[in-house]
Amino acid sequence: MNHKRTDYLSWDEYFMGVAMMSGMRSKDPNSQVGACIVSEDNKILSMGYNGFPKGCSDDEFPWAREGDSLHTKYFYVTHSELNAILNYRGGSLEGAKLYVSLFPCNECAKAIIQAGIKTIVYDCDKYAHTPAVIASKRMLDAAGVRYYKYNRTGRKITIEV
């Protein structure tokens, strides 16, 4: 056996796989979102998933989607993309790529642009019709942030832990 393996993970499978696995940490009962930030030379810089800020207990803050706004998750949850940006303590994210399992909202788009992230690879775009995502794309387009949909290869990755 002196030939290299041919069925190794591609860069995109690897980074989207890491983003998706990060999303598996989320306690959100409806949407588990994961993000992975990668340098221009394919080094993983940071990861994140959607959850409440430090000190805001999952047992005390609400995961509800509907009802009085103070009793839904939306005021409290930090999105995976923002968590990934904030989790990075190493300096600049200028020129980095973001792999994310769900298209970024307008608030995360602002943080992505201001952090200097230049490319977004996303998997799902289930909220494409919402004002938050339409506004997000408007800002990303204006700022010259490139985004493209991840091409699923259908590969099943099974890890026994």
Ligand X SMILES: Nc1nc(=O)n([C@H]2C[C@H](O)[C@@H](COP(=O)(O)O)O2)cc1CO
Q: In this chain, which of 105, 117, 120, 145 binds Zn ion, going by CB under 5 A? A: 105
Q: Say if residue 26 is exposed, middle or buried (CB neighbours under 10 Å; 0-12, 13-18, 19+).
A: buried
Q: Which amino acid is at 38?
A: V
108 binds Zn ion (CB under 5 A): yes
Q: How far is the CB of 106 from Zn ion (least distance, A)?
A: 7
CB 49 within 8 A of CB 34: yes
CB 31 within 8 A of CB 50: yes
- Report the C-alpha gap between 98 and 16 in whole angstroms: 9
- Report the C-alpha gap between 78 and 121 in whole angstroms: 20
Q: Which stretch binds ligand X (CB under 6 A): 8-16, 27-35, 137-145, 146-154?
A: 27-35
Q: In this chain, which of 79, 93, 145, 150 binds Zn ion, going by CB under 5 A? A: 79
50 binds ligand X (CB under 6 A): yes
Contact partner, 37, from ligand X, Zn ion, none, Cβ < 5-8 Å per class: none
Q: Which stretch binds ligand X (CB under 6 A): 38-46, 84-92, 97-105, 140-148?
A: 97-105
Q: Which stretch binds Zn ion (CB under 5 A): 25-33, 45-53, 68-76, 106-114?
A: 106-114
Which residues are part of the catalytic machinery? 81
Q: Which amino acid is at 72?
A: T
* Cα 142-125-159 angle, rounded to 5 deg: 125
CB 72 within 8 A of CB 65: yes
Contact partner, 65, from ligand X, Zn ion, none, Cβ < 5-8 Å per class: ligand X
Q: How far is the CB of 28 from ligand X (least distance, A)?
A: 4
Q: Would you give the DSSP letter of residue 6?
A: S
Residues that bind ligand X (CB under 6 A): 28, 30-31, 33, 50, 65, 73, 77, 79-81, 102-105, 108, 127
